C-alpha cells in the first residue's frame, strides 16, 4: 500500500508536481509557457531545443540541427520531432533532427569504464522499419559511431548544431560522440545545449567521475583547451531543482567567431541612481 504513495511522500513539492502534471496532460497555456516551466513530455528535450533555437534566432541563424546519440526504440526521437515542430514555428528557425544508433542495440562493453555490470551487448535493440514508418522528418544515422561520426558531416552537411542528447550509455561510445565536437565552427552554434542521460542513476548504476559518461566528459574537458562542457549553474541553483537539471550541460566554443556576439538585447543595461 505504501508504494502507491511513495512518490508523493518523497516529493518535497507535491502540489507543484500535480499542477505541472495537469498542465502537461491538458496542455494548459501555450507551448512556450509550458516548455519554460517544464510541463511538457521529456522537458529536457524541450529545454535544449528551445534554448538552442532562441540563441540561433538572436544570432541570425535561419536553420539549426539537433542530434540524439542513442535512439534505442525511438521514443525520444519521435518526441524531439514534436518539440522541433513547435519550436520552429515559435522561433521561425528551421530545425533538422538526426538520430545516431547501431540499430542492433548496445555494442559489447570494452572494460570497466563501460559499466558491464549495467549494460550488455544487444540492450535497447531498435525495430528499424517500425521507427522509420513513424518518423516524419528526423533522419536515422545507423552504424557504429566510429564510422558514422566520421562520415556524417560530409554526407549530410548539417546546419549548425545547437542541441545534442547523449544517451549512448557506454564510456567508449560517448568518447566517440564527443569527438564530433572537433569539426570546426561551421557546424556549431557558439554555445550548444547538451543533455547527458546517464550521469545520475541509482544505487544500482552508481555513476561516478571515473566511469561512463561522466568520465568521457571529464576527459574531454581535460584535453580540449578551447571547447569546454560546463554545468549551467542557473539551473542547479534554482529555487526548485528538477532532477533533470543536473543532466544539462552547455558546450562552449571559446574560439568561435560568433562567441562574443551580444545576445542580451532587450534586457535592461542601465541602473540609474534612485
Grouping H, G, I as helix, E, B as strand and the rest as coil, residue 234 is helix
Q: Total structural domains in the chain?
A: 2
Q: Does a structural domain hold residue 129?
A: yes
Instruction: Map grid coordinates 518539440 to a residue.
Output: 83
Tell me: do 146 and 215 sit in the same domain. Answer: yes
| pLDDT higher than threshold 70 for residue 4 | no
Grouping H, G, I as helix, E, B as strand and the rest as coil, residue 176 is helix
Tell me: do 25 and 74 sit in the same domain. Answer: no
Q: Does a structural domain hold residue 4?
A: no
The mean pLDDT of 144-159, rounded to a whole number, is: 94
Cell digits for 101?
A: 544508433
- What is the per-residue pLDDT across 221-261, written as a single tens digit (0 to 9) for each? 999 999 999 999 999 999 999 999 999 999 999 999 999 99
Q: Are 189 and 161 in contact (CB under 8 A)?
A: yes
pLDDT of residue 1: 59
| pLDDT higher than threshold 80 for residue 117 | yes
| pLDDT higher than threshold 80 for residue 5 | no
Q: Does a structural domain hold residue 161?
A: yes
Tell me: do 50 and 144 sit in the same domain. Answer: yes
User: Which of 115, 100, 123 has its CA nearest to residue 216?
Assistant: 115
Tell me: do 84 and 19 sit in the same domain. Answer: no
Q: Does a structural domain hold residue 117?
A: yes
Tell me: do 33 and 94 sit in the same domain. Answer: no
Tell me: do 160 and 180 sit in the same domain. Answer: yes
Q: Does a structural domain hold residue 172?
A: yes
Quote the domain boundaries for residue 205.
42-253
Q: Which CATH number fits the domain that encloses residue 131?
A: 3.40.50.150
Tell me: do 27 and 48 sit in the same domain. Answer: no
Tell me: do 21 and 131 sit in the same domain. Answer: no
SS (H, E, C) 41-80: CCHHHHHHHHHHHHHHHHHCCCEEEEEEECCCCCHHHHHH
Q: Does a structural domain hold residue 215?
A: yes
Q: Are 35 and 24 in contact (CB under 8 A)?
A: no
Q: Where are the beta strands (DSSP E) in 122-224?
A: 139-142, 161-166, 188-196
User: Which of 88, 20, 10 has its CA nearest to residue 54?
Assistant: 88
The mean pLDDT of 136-151, rounded to a whole number, is: 94
pLDDT of residue 10: 81
Tell me: do 32 and 141 sit in the same domain. Answer: no
- What is the per-residue pLDDT across 78-115, written as a single tens digit (0 to 9) for each? 999 999 999 999 999 999 999 999 999 999 999 999 99
Residues 6+ apart with CB under 8 A from 197: 70, 165, 166, 167, 169, 213, 247
| pLDDT higher than threshold 80 for residue 167 | yes
Q: Does a structural domain hold residue 3?
A: no
pLDDT of residue 212: 98
- What is the per-residue pLDDT across 18-37, written as a single tens digit (0 to 9) for each? 999 999 999 999 999 999 99
pLDDT of residue 2: 64
- DSSP tally for the chain: helices H, then strands E: 10, 7
Average pLDDT, the chain: 95
Amino acid at each position: 500500500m505504501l508504494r502507491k504513495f511513495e512518490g508523493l511522500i518523497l516529493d518535497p513539492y507535491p502540489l507543484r508536481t500535480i499542477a505541472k502534471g495537469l498542465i502537461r496532460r491538458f496542455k494548459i497555456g501555450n507551448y512556450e509557457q509550458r516548455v519554460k516551466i517544464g510541463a511538457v513530455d521529456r522537458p529536457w528535450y524541450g529545454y535544449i531545443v528551445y534554448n538552442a533555437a532562441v540563441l540561433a534566432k538572436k544570432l541570425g541563424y535561419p536553420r539549426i540541427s539537433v542530434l540524439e546519440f542513442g535512439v534505442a526504440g525511438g521514443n525520444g526521437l519521435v518526441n524531439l520531432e514534436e518539440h522541433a515542430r513547435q519550436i520552429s514555428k515559435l522561433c521561425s528557425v528551421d530545425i533538422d533532427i538526426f538520430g545516431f544508433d547501431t540499430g542492433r542495440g548496445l555494442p559489447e562493453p570494452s572494460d570497466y569504464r563501460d559499466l558491464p555490470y549495467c549494460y550488455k551487448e544487444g540492450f535497447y535493440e531498435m525495430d528499424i522499419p517500425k521507427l522509420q514508418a513513424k518518423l516524419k522528418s528526423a533522419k536515422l544515422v545507423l552504424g557504429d559511431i566510429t564510422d558514422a561520426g566520421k562520415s556524417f558531416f560530409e554526407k549530410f552537411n548539417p546546419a549548425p548544431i545547437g542541441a545534442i542528447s547523449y544517451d549512448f550509455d557506454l564510456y567508449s561510445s560517448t568518447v566517440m560522440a564527443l569527438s564530433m565536437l572537433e569539426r570546426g565552427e561551421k557546424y556549431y552554434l557558439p554555445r550548444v545545449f547538451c543533455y547527458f542521460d546517464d550521469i545520475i542513476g541509482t544505487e544500482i548504476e552508481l555513476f561516478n567521475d571515473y566511469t561512463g559518461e561522466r568520465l568521457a566528459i571529464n576527459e574531454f574537458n581535460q584535453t580540449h583547451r578551447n571547447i569546454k562542457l560546463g554545468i549551467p549553474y542557473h539551473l542547479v541553483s534554482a529555487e526548485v531543482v528538477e532532477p533533470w537539471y543536473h543532466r544539462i550541460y552547455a558546450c562552449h566554443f571559446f574560439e568561435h567567431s560568433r562567441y562574443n556576439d551580444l545576445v542580451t538585447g532587450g534586457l535592461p543595461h542601465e541602473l540609474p541612481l534612485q
